[in-house]
Structure 1
Amino acid sequence: MSTLDTNNAVEGVISNLAFLLAHNNNVVAAHLCTTNAIQISKTPDEGAHFCGYRNIQMLLAAQELKSDAAIERIPTIANLQIKIEEAWKAGFNSHGMAQTGGIRGTRKHIGTSEAEAILLSSNIPCTGIAFQGKTAWQQLLDYTEAHFSASSNPSVATTEAQKVHLTDKLPIFLQRPDHSLTIVGLIKCRSGKRKLLTFDPAWQLPSLMRSPLSANQHQAWRLKWLFKQYTKSERYLKRYSAFEVLVIERQIQGLN
């Protein structure tokens, strides 16, 4: 069963994204989640199976205090499977056990219900919200913008325009049909359109994002291309008529 290590988990990506956004002339405003967020991707042997687990890991990782041991404290996929089944047995979204027949030691897909079960059974308050219909994409963007704009402790990245806001908000678990992602912020573009900033487990971690960016790197064409991996446009979101989000209501460090 896949583990979690520094090959597929990297800290500091939010700060790098803030740097790139501050130097992007097409961006007029951006709100990002806590810099504690860790980007976690699937390993090459996982195929299309473990996105849900990777997004749960990212939710839990964002609650950890900044430290050298933050990555090591995040549960592995095998541990998450055990905790999800324990949550089902304790009555949290127990329909999942009947639907899946159990997930321990398997490559079965999981989604919002399983993420909610593990959080609630660990005494981590969370709220699930569904957006449906032709305007589901717009409802999702409206909710995300309100979520990150309402930070109780916003700070502003170093930029004359003061357009990039780093907040204390935790990331959001996002489920769209057949795939899940982690929302880490929202961008407003000069065109008036909005984009989600996401950590998508399907993408391998870009090597250039593994360390702090230098002052001249924002102009590198390769970084501009890599930055597209982190955005989901209105056009992308309009492909789907249903989304689910799971939001942790308050910050708790660690998983019980």
Structure 2
Amino acid sequence: MPEWLVSILERNEGICKEGIVPILQQLLDQCSTTEYAYVCSPCVTHISKTRREGSFCGYRNIQMLTSWIIASGAQGSNLFGPKFPSIFQIQDLIENAWDNGFNVQGRVETGGIRGTRKYIGTPEVSSSSNVLEFGNSVRVSFSLQYRKWFTDRQHRCPPQAFKDEDFTVARNLLYAAIERYFQQGLLEEDSKVHATVLPPIYFQHRGHSMTIIGFEKQTNGKSNLLVFDPSYRDPSVVSNLVGKPFRHPPAKASGVLESYRRGNKYLRRFGEFEILWYARLDTGRRCDLHED
């Protein structure tokens, strides 16, 4: 890794923005093409990559998952401290886990990751590859220092993979699994947009990973994953609304949401998907993003 990039990563945690999930919840409610939707806990921080940093999406998604653990006060949050781990800390944790016998094949496949820009998470796979065991890199990234969290039977987060020669089948299986997940955490049965306190979901397809923060069913019957993509920052039309009341015309609300939607137009290029979530659903307190 070049020295200029090391310097950037040591100085910068990424582009961090809190309070985005409640904004998206309001936009979905105001959007006339949304039949119903679910959103995850408002405690998740959207963390985007810094300019020129390169292939660190997997790390940024791990940081987003950890931001929920810390901010929600979920059981085990005390193991993390007040800040989510840096990219270099995550690399150290993965390497230390390999040293102690966790997922050692990862070291063989990558040749080691400390001080590099190598991808982590599920390797890029072709549509003809076998379904991979997904999630080990994510779980291992917190091993040792945070082993108690992930070895507790109640907190294990088994991976799920969706693959089919018919890409439509794989995509529909993914949609169904995500909707079932959010249905478990309903707080309001009769609302158009269902708020939950559920953690976000790590999402991987060939070549890229994101964090799923919600699910939308549109009036035309189509589904969308709602995501925080670490490759992109929040548009100013969203970030400037944090903590403010607002009302958009339905067409404008839909347009703003496009930055966070991943539906058929995007997903149809892929025939294999992997997701990882926390199995335990009693997820601590509901965070107050504006508390002192």
Q: The TM-score by the shorter chain falls in which range?
A: 0.7 to 0.9
Match of 1:57 in 2: 63
AA at the equivalent of 2:181: H
Aligned pairs (5 A) from 1:203-218: 203-210=232-239, 211-216=242-247, 218=248
Which of 109, 113, 133 is equivalent to 2:136? 113
Whole-Å separation in 1 of the counterparts to 2:13 and 2:60: 14
Which of 240, 248, 251 is equivalent to 2:278? 248
* CA drift at 1:212: 2.6
Give the direction of change, closer, same or farther, for the CA distance of 1:61–1:88 in structure 2 (3 Å limit): same
Give the direction of change, closer, same or farther, for the CA distance of 1:33–1:230 in structure 2 (3 Å limit): same
Whole-Å separation in 2 of the counterparts to 1:180 and 1:248: 17
Match of 2:100 in 1: 90
AA at the equivalent of 1:198: V
Whole-Å separation in 2 of the counterparts to 1:209 and 1:14: 10
Q: How many residues align?
A: 244
Match of 1:138 in 2: 172
Which of 187, 192, 200 is equivalent to 1:155? 187
Which of 228, 232, 250 is equivalent to 1:199? 228
Q: Compare 82-91 and 221-230 and name the one that shifted more.
A: 221-230
AA at the equivalent of 1:241: G
Question: Is 2:205 aligned against 1:171?
Answer: no
Residues 115-138 of structure 1: CA deviation (Å, up to 9, x unaligned): 122245533221111110121111
Whole-Å separation in 2 of the counterparts to 1:222 and 1:55: 28
* CA drift at 1:3: 5.1
Determine which structure has more spread, i.e. the larger CA radius of gyration: 2
CA contact (8 A) 1:156 1:163 kept: no
Whole-Å separation in 1 of the counterparts to 2:12 and 2:249: 30
Match of 1:77 in 2: 87
Q: Give TM-score scaled by structure 1 length.
A: 0.86
CA contact (8 A) 1:41 1:201 kept: yes
Residue ranges of structure 1 left out of the alignment (5+ in a row): none
Whole-Å separation in 2 of the counterparts to 1:155 and 1:36: 15
Question: Is 2:39 aligned against 1:29?
Answer: no
Whole-Å separation in 2 of the counterparts to 1:223 and 1:22: 9
AA at the equivalent of 2:28: L
CA contact (8 A) 1:31 1:166 kept: yes
* CA drift at 1:71: 10
Q: Compare 184-193 and 119-128 and name the one that shifted more.
A: 119-128
CA contact (8 A) 2:36 2:193 kept: yes
Whole-Å separation in 2 of the counterparts to 1:128 and 1:162: 30
* CA drift at 1:108: 0.6
CA contact (8 A) 2:31 2:250 kept: no
Whole-Å separation in 2 of the counterparts to 1:80 and 1:6: 12
AA at the equivalent of 2:180: A
RMSD between aligned alpha carbons?
2.5
Match of 1:230 in 2: 260
Q: Give TM-score scaled by structure 2 length.
A: 0.76
Q: Compare 117-126 and 167-176 and name the one that shifted more.
A: 117-126
Whole-Å separation in 2 of the counterparts to 1:176 and 1:106: 22
